[in-house]
Amino acid sequence: MRHYLLAMLGLLLFSTTVSAVEKTEPESVAEVRQRVQQIVPYTLDQVRQTFTKTVHGGVQHVVAKSPDNTRQIKLIQAHLLEIANEFRKGNFSVTERMHGAAMPGLARLKTAQPDDIKFDYKALPDGAQIHYSTEYPQFVQALHEWFEAQQIEHGNEVIPEHIQHHLIPAE
């Protein structure tokens, strides 16, 4: 009987905790989305964004939902170029403003020396991408943690034309 009561108490506590997490998470995502929209120059509802982990880091894509939306494409390209340049200098303040200083992986990324991580910007016909790569395992881990947090807070839409070429182990 005692084990039964303990099991029931455990299930009750677990279900209460899960329910509390489920109720607070959408508010957190909504808050992040609101902060992001205040910081980025493009309109979030008009773009798709992905964070795809690779062996040596990952690739961030931001593309316009409509390939004819040249205004959004130019805004995406300017923003991603700017943040890639800031990341190269070790300046992650944009990420901190969007997601907070406690964002997973961020503290370790901020310890990297300028050449420890590569931030390769590339303009795309419908937007832009940043390819994050490093040979240092601690920074690969930090990038992966950072990407997972980005996926949770931004969502991670599938962009089929961009996924396939990042699944090669050599990256």
pLDDT tens digits for 37-50? 777 888 888 999 99
| pLDDT attached to residue 18 | 40
16-30, 81-95, 117-131, 156-170: which has the minimum mean pLDDT?
Answer: 16-30
Q: 């959004």: which residue's tokens?
A: 72
Q: How would residue 95 be classed by pLDDT, with cut points 50, 70 and 90?
A: confident
Sequence-distant (≥ 6) Cβ neighbours of residue 53 within 8 angstroms: 143, 144, 147, 148
pLDDT higher than 60, residue 72:
yes
Domain boundaries, the chain: 40-166
Instruction: Give the amino acid at 38.
Output: Q
* Percent above pLDDT 70 for the chain: 70
Whether this prediction's pTM lies above 0.85 is answered by: no
9-13, 20-24, 110-114: which has the minimum mean pLDDT?
Answer: 20-24
pLDDT higher than 60, residue 164:
no
Q: How far apart are CA 53 and CA 135, in angstroms?
A: 14
pLDDT higher than 80, residue 163:
no
Question: Dihedrals φ, ψ of 93, to 5°?
Answer: -65, -30
